[in-house]
Structure 1
Amino acid sequence: MINYDTVLAVIDSDLESQPALSRALELSEKTDATLIVLMVVYDFSYEMTTMLSGAEREAMRSAVIKERRGWLESEVRQYSDRPVELIVKWESRAFEAIIRTAVECSADIVVKASRKADDLVSVIFTPTDWHLLRKCPMPVLMVKEHAWPPQGNIIAAVNVGTEDAEHAQLNDKLTDIAKDYANLLTGAVHLVNAYPHAPVSIALEIPEFDTNAYHKAVKHHHQHEMELHRKKYGIDASHCHVEEGLPEHVVAKMSHQLDAELVIIGTVGRIGISAAFIGNTAEQVIDTLHCDVLAIKPDGFETPVT
């Protein structure tokens, strides 16, 4: 069961509407959580005004913050009359301000809007979004402007064929969270797992290599592991999808076929070369989706932001 005590919504004044605020209000109302609304502001021109003293620059920053807080108060009132804590911070690196605020407030989830691309269907993730997805220790919900209708489909992107303990633990966490959101939204959980193509290079280098046998073995392994996983969580077999291909292609295809409202994906917190490959895969999956995305870190993840 989802047990949020504090929900942090990040506001972007450049957007015509505030889907993050709307979604955060919905979550806070459904879970009876405290809602904190954060806006990060910065104007480099104020820092470059060398003719002003430090005190004068500080006064100018304070004036901007006050003006932005007034705007934020009026914006929030358009969405809800319930008590909401408002925070406005001056910070050049927005993602650091967001993460610090989330940690200071002991937020259970960070909700932020993604931006629409020119085709009005796909979304754009800004550098701040990517930093949050990689470094924020708590779940990050990237939302687009649409409602969460009842009986919507929720996808957990799992990797049931893994032998890695951290990935296996993350599979369990993603499935648990997907079931919690399904209960919260009266929706349905779907598990999606991608398995790889047989490497072409092996068939070329080893003529006796049986590509078809390899393909069948890999497919059977993932199907078997999915069967064990779905039974463990009581998920219907018709809601489990094991597909050949790259994760970013398979998850995007299934999210479109199922008209998913939410895709839940894990981002494994590692460093070095392994992080580059794992992080790149997660980002490619996220970048191809047209629905809300909930990014989950493994247990024990610590943010590099101090």
Structure 2
Amino acid sequence: MRSFKNILYVFEPSIAQETNIIRAVSLAHSNQAHLAIIDVIPEQTVGSISTDLTEALISKRWNMLESLISSYTNVHDVDIEVRVGTKFLEVIRAVLRNNYDLVIKGAENPDWMMHLFGSDDMHLLRKCPCPIWLMKPQEKANYDCIVAAFDFDPDDQNQSLLNQQILDLANSLALSEFAELHLVHAWDVPEIEFVRGWINEPDTTTIREIDAERARHQAGMDALIKKLRDRLGAEAYSYLSPQVHLPMGSARKTIPALLKAVRADLIVMGTIARTGIPGFIIGNTAEAILDQLECSVLAVKPAGFVTPVTLLC
């Protein structure tokens, strides 16, 4: 099972913090992990003030964080860091400096947008090298339903490793939260409409094509489920009893619809399919899904992902 050993919590002043901090402390405690909290003061806030005033402001914010977490330090020690700069850049630099293996942050949920995630959130989803857990405002103390979303490419070993990482995270959380686990893979046959235009027996051929494609995707999901059963053992797998969904259609439509239908509290998903390209943006499908989310998200990068953000000299 996947466990975390070095967790970074990002203070987000635009939302209530209590439930999110409790979850971060609880996760760190159960994993026996190091936990730190970071606050980033925008550069424009200190741009016109003296060094002494800047240091005073940093000290004030540090004391505020210390007061915020004081009621939890009897459960778990929490380190504090206050930086000046651009939030997503300083968070990623902290990850690079200290090798954090999970970032937890409340979603910005800006009032002027009809979306859950704000600018810093999207930058982190694109560029943070470790998994990032963005929690919606008014987060529940315990999850009832967790969804893991997969993609399959038999020629891409990195995709298989990413799927395994998603599966490990989702089933570990479902077991610890006593939550329902749903496994989903959306598939499509977009070339079917083109085939219909030139074949003599469109219905027969279409059915054959769809059945073959469905079988290919079903085989990928079956292999993933077998890995989960083998890792958990028969008894634990039976207790977890994951529900499997293999909808036909565009993932950007079928996955958000499924999340609403099952009243998902969290989706665990990959955000980038290609590796070795620094700063490679979120794929169109993942971006479209994220844009429609009403639940929290735990986003995972593939092995070999390289962030375009670098440490300052």
Fold shared per TM-score above 0.5 = yes
Partner of 2:93: 100
Partner of 1:159: 151
Q: Output aligned runs, 1:37-76, within 5 Å.
A: 37-44=37-44, 46-47=46-47, 49=48, 57-76=50-69
Q: In the aligned structure 1, how far is the partner of 2:32 from the partner of 2:159? A: 31
Shift in Å at residue 32 of structure 1?
A: 2.1
Shift in Å at residue 12 of structure 1?
A: 1.2
Call closer, same or farther: CA 1:270–1:301 in 2, change over 3 Å.
closer
Partner of 1:189: 181
Q: In the aligned structure 1, how far is the partner of 2:287 from the partner of 2:63? A: 36
Q: Secondary structure at the match of 1:227?
A: helix
Partner of 1:132: 124
Within the candidate set 196, 217, 221, 2:216 is matched to 221
Deviations 1:240-265 (A, max 9, x none): 11001222222222222222222110
Q: Secondary structure at the match of 2:50?
A: helix
Preserved CA contact (<8 Å) 1:7 1:110: yes
Partner of 2:11: 11
Q: Secondary structure at the match of 1:35?
A: strand
Q: Secondary structure at the match of 1:24?
A: helix
Partner of 2:233: none
Shift in Å at residue 238 of structure 1?
A: 6.4
2:276 counterpart of 1:284: no
Q: In the aligned structure 2, how far is the partner of 1:258 from the partner of 1:119? A: 28
Call closer, same or farther: CA 1:127–1:101 in 2, change over 3 Å.
same
Shift in Å at residue 196 of structure 1?
A: 1.3
Shift in Å at residue 80 of structure 1?
A: 5.3
Call closer, same or farther: CA 1:200–1:220 in 2, change over 3 Å.
closer
Query: Where do 5+ consecutive residues of structure 2 fail to align?
Result: 230-236
Q: Secondary structure at the match of 1:243?
A: coil
Q: Secondary structure at the match of 2:283?
A: helix
Call closer, same or farther: CA 1:74–1:175 in 2, change over 3 Å.
same
Shift in Å at residue 101 of structure 1?
A: 1.0
Preserved CA contact (<8 Å) 1:2 1:31: no
2:249 counterpart of 1:256: no
2:72 counterpart of 1:84: no
Shift in Å at residue 157 of structure 1?
A: 0.5
Partner of 1:53: none
Partner of 2:25: 25
Q: In the aligned structure 2, how far is the partner of 1:188 from the partner of 1:225? A: 22
Shift in Å at residue 140 of structure 1?
A: 0.3
Q: In the aligned structure 2, how far is the partner of 1:284 from the partner of 1:18? A: 30
Q: Secondary structure at the match of 1:160?
A: coil
Query: Where do 5+ consecutive residues of structure 1 fail to align?
Result: 50-55
Preserved CA contact (<8 Å) 1:267 1:296: yes
Within the candidate set 171, 175, 181, 1:179 is matched to 171
* Deviating more after overlay: 210-219 vs 164-173: 210-219
Q: In the aligned structure 1, how far is the partner of 2:45 from the partner of 2:34? A: 35
Preserved CA contact (<8 Å) 1:111 1:141: yes
Give the alignment's TM-score, normalised by structure 1: 0.84
Shift in Å at residue 41 of structure 1?
A: 0.6
Q: In the aligned structure 1, how far is the partner of 2:56 from the partner of 2:131? A: 33
Preserved CA contact (<8 Å) 2:105 2:135: yes
Preserved CA contact (<8 Å) 1:68 1:88: yes
Shift in Å at residue 216 of structure 1?
A: 2.6
Partner of 1:246: 250
Call closer, same or farther: CA 1:226–1:129 in 2, change over 3 Å.
same
Q: In the aligned structure 2, how far is the partner of 1:170 from the partner of 1:139? A: 11
Task: Return the letter of the residue paired with 1:125.
Answer: F
Partner of 1:232: 227
- Percent identical across equivalent pairs? 28
Deviations 1:62-96 (A, max 9, x none): 122122222222222355544321111001x2111
Shift in Å at residue 143 of structure 1?
A: 0.7
Q: Secondary structure at the match of 1:206?
A: coil
Preserved CA contact (<8 Å) 2:146 2:174: yes
Number of positions where the alignment pairs a residue of Structure 1 with one of Structure 2? 294
CA-based RMSD: 2.9
